[in-house]
Amino acid sequence: MSTEQNPNVVRHHYQTKREDRERILNQRATIIWFTGLSGSGKSTLADAVERELQSRGYKTYLLDGDNLRHGLNADLDFSESGRQENIRRTGEVSALLFDAGLIVLTAFVSPYRSDRDKIRSLFPEGRFIEVFVDCPIEVCEQRDIKGLYAKARQGLIPDFTGVSAPYEPPLHPELTIHSHLHDEPACTQQVIQTCEPRLRHDTP
């Protein structure tokens, strides 16, 4: 019997709520979810946005697909079920950090629309900002910072997004960034301009 159906797991209701934490942190907890191909610049952009938000006094945390796979998700492989469980846990961890009152930035390829929409549904309206880092695969492949596209083309990495597995672009992202057309500071400013008004504690 998994826990979900177990009547002996009793939920404790605590005094301190997310609203209390948000008041102390003086901000509205929010998820900023960066999605895009490997090499599109998600991590670099998320890193720069976090730094800018920190300099403006926001309390943030950044979750990164690769880094999470070294800890919490180290037991998972890249099979379909492994990927699904990876993204499920990521959503649940994002929800905990959100509940802690933080601005959570995430950088995951997250290629499937249904997975992203499932995570969006964990959060209240307006608290999930999907940022589509839209960079043509030719550019990503030319950069190939980690050498993964070369390996994927040689068949050494199976089910590689964009090469041998699909990427489903968001239909209605809150923001689309063309990381191949603008430099990093410009892209960072675009994200900040869209996000910051939503993060202030006095925003209704």
> According to the binding rule CB under 8 A, does residue 4 interact with its own copies?
yes
Q: Which amino acid is at 194?
A: T
> According to the binding rule CB under 8 A, does residue 204 interact with its own copies?
no
Least separation in angstroms between residue 74's CB and its own copies is 5
Q: From the list 2, 81, 114, 154, which residue makes contact with its own copies (rule: CB under 8 A)? A: 2
> According to the binding rule CB under 8 A, does residue 165 interact with its own copies?
no
Least separation in angstroms between residue 189's CB and its own copies is 17
Among 139, 95, 89, residue whose Cα is nearest residue 115: 89
Q: From the list 29, 37, 45, 62, which residue makes contact with its own copies (rule: CB under 8 A)? A: 62
> According to the binding rule CB under 8 A, does residue 57 interact with its own copies?
yes
Among 11, 13, 32, residue whose Cα is nearest residue 194: 32
Q: Which amino acid is at 134?
A: D
Contact mark string toward its own copies, 174..193, x via CB under 8 A? --------------------
Judged by beta carbon, residue 7 or residue 204, the one nearer its own copies is: 7
Give 157's contacts (C-beta < 8 A, 6+ positions apart).
148, 151
> According to the binding rule CB under 8 A, does residue 17 interact with its own copies?
no
Least separation in angstroms between residue 126's CB and its own copies is 21
Judged by beta carbon, residue 46 or residue 129, the one nearer its own copies is: 46
Least separation in angstroms between residue 171's CB and its own copies is 27
| Sheet of 103-107, strand order | 60-64, 103-107, 30-35, 128-133, 175-177
Q: From the list 97, 129, 131, 199, which residue makes contact with its own copies (rule: CB under 8 A)? A: 97
Footprint on this chain of its own copies (rule: CB under 8 A): 1-4, 6, 8-12, 14-16, 20-21, 24-25, 43, 47-48, 50-51, 54, 57, 59-64, 66-67, 69-78, 85, 89, 92-93, 95-97, 99-102, 107, 146, 148, 151, 157
